[in-house]
Amino acid sequence: MTGNEPAVEVQTRLIDRLGLTGTSYPTSDPKLYGNHVRGYAVPLYYWGERPYVDVTTLNVQFSGAAGAMVSTLDDLAALHEALLDGTLLSPAMTDQLKTLVPYPDQANLSFGLAHEVVNGPGACGKVWTKGGAVYGYYTAVLTREDGAQAAVATNQYNMACPAGAGVANLTNAAIDALCAL
């Protein structure tokens, strides 16, 4: 423990170190600045036709450090690359991150620390995936063993468990596209 707030550590260890110019860690202002997508969600309870509520200015601090970063897909891809190639972590920590545990009852899926690893179709090989969600948004970054990447986002997420077919379909389409390269 450093004694610093998460925003300080994220700024120092990630944003500044990697030059992530499209990334911030807002601590109180819920407004998104610059070019961004609007986020939409369906309330947990509603009557009648399914409503989509604009949650773009929802303060992401409600989820603590788990959903507090605001970023571009390019910056997320750069962060994912730095995690996997050893730029951010020591060799021992990178090895630990890449130590895989098979997912029960799914031969094609394994887990590493904070990652799912899918055996891509054909000769694609392993695809390291990291998804993240906050009310109104879902993103995923996918990186092949050879460094090729895809990053995807949707501006509709309900925080329901399980996440639903939309998130799975988006991630699977990104894996298929990445493996077709």
For 63-94, the pLDDT digits (tens) are: 677 777 888 999 999 999 999 999 999 999 99
Spatial distance between the Cα atoms of 58 and 29, rounded to a whole number of angstroms: 9
- Strands (DSSP E) contained in the chain are 40-41, 53-54, 101-102, 109-112, 115-120, 125-134, 137-144, 149-154
Q: Which residues pair with 151 in a beta bridge?
A: 141
Residue tagged 């990697």 (tokens): 18
Q: pLDDT of 110-137, one tens digit each?
A: 888 888 898 888 889 999 999 888 888 8
What does the pLDDT read at residue 163? 56
Summarize the confidence of residues 45-52 as an average pLDDT: 80
Summarize the confidence of residues 20-32 as an average pLDDT: 82
Whether the per-residue pLDDT at 160 is higher than 70: the answer is: no
Spatial distance between the Cα atoms of 142 and 171, rounded to a whole number of angstroms: 9
CATH class of 6-26+41-179: alpha beta
What does the pLDDT read at residue 162? 53
pTM over 0.75: yes
What does the pLDDT read at residue 137? 85
Q: pLDDT of 99-116, one tens digit each?
A: 999 888 887 888 888 888
On the question of a cis peptide bond just before residue 104, with omega within 30 degrees of 0, the verdict is no
